[in-house]
Structure formats: structure tokens, C-alpha cells
Amino acid sequence: MNRFIAAILLAFATQISYAQTELDGMSLRGLAIYQQLRTDYYVGGLYLPQPAATPDDAFFMPGPKRMDLRVIAESWSDRRFTQQWNQLILINNPADVQKAQQENIIAFATMLKDDLQAGDHITIDLLPDEGTEIKLNGTTLLKNSDPEFFNLLLSCWIGARPPSSGFKQDILSLPDGDRGSSLMTTFEITGPTQTRIAETKSWGKGGSPAAKPKPESKPATSSAPSEAERLAAEKARREAAEAEAERARLAKLEAEKARKEAIARALAEAEAKAKAAARAKELINEYSTTMVRASYQHVRYPKRALKLNQQGTVLLEVIIDRKGSLLSSKVIQSSGYSSLDDAAISAVEKTAPFPELPSGIDGAQIEFTLPFTFQISS
């Protein structure tokens, strides 16, 4: 782009007064670079009467508005221009809006006569009580009386699916720091040469995009307008189909990505729960062992049971709260001897309260099964 700078700077002085006249009642509110496949195509500027904190603020704000495009790509083909805009129109506007604006969309898609060049300046203006007007280097390419067409194009910048999240953020609020200064400089010095301005004057259509050329009296030329319209409509349909296919492809990729992310989250959650459950079980076993060891210190073998050679294992169900206080204890499997069963319960009651439960064990109260084995040594 450097080889265009000298010519751009020469033309810049003539552009300032023109821009100032056109921007009465508006100020530059955002700047962003439109990029696709690592190619920078243009610096976009959004002019509004007031700052816009949200996209809705920009859409519903009364007064004049402007979308300002300063082309920085060395060449931007009219076909690629149409493809990129048709795709953004398709994915950011409901079908009923696109249907209502079909005639204007076709006119927009066919307004360029040739490729764009570095320095070209496109303005899309919302004119209160007049409609939407699009100019290239000061020459009107399209004008209609429908202000909603401006919002349809603005949605391509700040709609649900903008060129990028960074573009949407920058176009609603001027970037700051060195990046903002560099972007502003590029925006200000980018403009067409006088030769280019003269060249693109021949592109002008003027009037309403819906207006049909009047047929001439000569039979040889009377069929030309309908053929041109047919080709334009065919081109628009083709571009719309390509954009729809691209939208479907992107939607499929997003759906697959979302599905994989959901599966990954579910697996991670299941793994985390399994680890937590295993750790809790481990802590319960460790705590149960601690309870048994502590209780064994208070076990007293009944003298009558010793005399009668009574032996056996008692299983107790013991419930404690988080502080370790004993809430209940009962025999769930008897040793066969009531004296041994009573000795096990007595040992638990004398040991309580037990230590506080560790944080890895959940619940306000926990139930443990404690074994007590009574055996007479030989």
C-alpha cells in the first residue's frame, strides 16, 4: 500500500472539505479493519450523532448515520465484494427482512462496474426523511427512499454475526493507544486520487435502484434492459446460494464444536464426581478405622462371658454428626450373646464424641458400620 501513499496525501486536502460537509450532525464513533483470510480489505468508520453503548443504540438512534469504507487492499474484485457482503447480509438478517429488501440487495450487489482499488472511498449514508445513499469517491451509485436498507447493511457490522468480535467492538468504540492512533492515521490518509475520482464518475447510476430504464424506440436495444436485469438477478441468486452454503457449513462446524465441548464437559464432570466419590469412600474407611481403634480402648470383656467361653463378632450401626457427636448406635448383627453386644455399644458410648468429620465427607450426619470382635486368647 505504500506506493499509494504519495498520491493519497496529494488528494487528502481536497477530501477534507468534502467530508466535513457530509458529516454535519455526526461524529466518528468507531474504527475497525475488515479482514478475511489474512487480507486487510478496508478500514471501516461508523459515524453517529451520539455514542452507542450497544448495537441497539446504534440501530435505533435518530438522525443521520454513515458507514465509511476506506479501501486499503491493493485490489478488491467486484465479485469478492459482492460475496463478502451477501454472506454478511444473509447471516445477520431474518428471511422476511431479506425478502422485503430483495430489490435493494440486488441493486447493491450489482452497483460496482469494476474492481475496487486501494484508496477508494465508499460511503453508505442514512439521510433522515430521504433514505439510504451509497457513494463511491463522491459519485452516487445507489439511492433509495428506504432507511431500513441502511440498517440491513449496518447489521453486517454490528449484528449477531459480525466480521469478528473485535471488529464489532472497535466499530462501536474508537480503539485507544498506539493501535487506535495507527488506525486513525490510516483512515485519515486513505483516499482516491483525482484521476481515480474522475474514472469512477462514470460508474454513477443515480436515482432509485428500483427504477427501470425506459426502452428506446429502436428494436435492437429494447431487449437490453431485461437481459441486464436477468443477469443481475441471476448473479445475486448465485451469490446468495454460495453465502447460504457457507452459512450452513459454518453452522454445522459450530454445532459439531458445541457437541464435542458438551461431551468433554460431561466426561470431565463425571470424572470429577468419580474421583470425589472414591476419595470420600477412602476417607470414610479411614475414619471408620479411627473410630474402631478409639472404641477398642473402652471395650471391657464381660467376666461372665469369659467364664462361659462366649466369643463372637458384633456389627454396630453408629450415626454421628459432623462434630463427631454420637446420635445413635444399635446392633445390626448380634454376636449371639447379649452381654457381648452390650459391651460393644458401651464402648462406643464411652468413646464419643469422636473427631470432627473431614471436609471430604459430605452430609450433616454420617452412618458407619463398626465391627467388634470378642475372642478369648489361648
What DSSP string runs through 111-176? --SS-EETT-EEEEEEETTTEEEEEETTEEEEEES-THHHHHHHHHHHSSS-S-HHHHHHHHS---
pLDDT of residue 316: 96
Closest by CA position to 146, among listed 131, 165, 157: 131
Range 279-307 average pLDDT: 92
Which three three-digit cell numbers place residue 308?
462361659
3-state SS assignment for residue 191: coil
Give the DSSP H or E segment for 32: strand 27-36
pLDDT digits (tens, 9 = 90+) for 87-129: 999 999 999 999 999 999 999 999 999 999 999 999 999 998 8
Domain 278-374: state its class. Answer: alpha beta
pLDDT of residue 224: 53
3-state SS assignment for residue 76: strand
- On whether the 2-212+224-258 domain is CATH 3.40.50.1370, my answer is no
Which range (238-242, 259-263, 304-308, 359-363) has the least confidence?
238-242
Beta strands in 59-130 (DSSP E): 65-71, 75-76, 116-117, 121-127
3-state SS assignment for residue 47: strand
Phi, psi dihedrals of residue 66, rounded to the nearest 5°: -145, 135
Contact 25, 49 (CB under 8 A): yes
pLDDT of residue 210: 41
Look at the pTM and tell me if it is higher than 0.85. no
Contact 316, 332 (CB under 8 A): yes
Whether residue 6 is predicted with pLDDT greater than 90 in this model: the reply is no
Contact 369, 315 (CB under 8 A): yes
Contact 338, 290 (CB under 8 A): no
Sequence ranges of the domains in the chain: 2-212+224-258, 278-374
* Position 225 confidence tier, pLDDT thresholds 50, 70, 90: low
Continuous H helices in 213-355:
219-222, 224-296, 303-307, 338-351
165-193 as b/e: b if 16+ CB within 10 A? eebbebbbbbbeeeeeeebbebbbbbbbb
Range 77-95 average pLDDT: 93
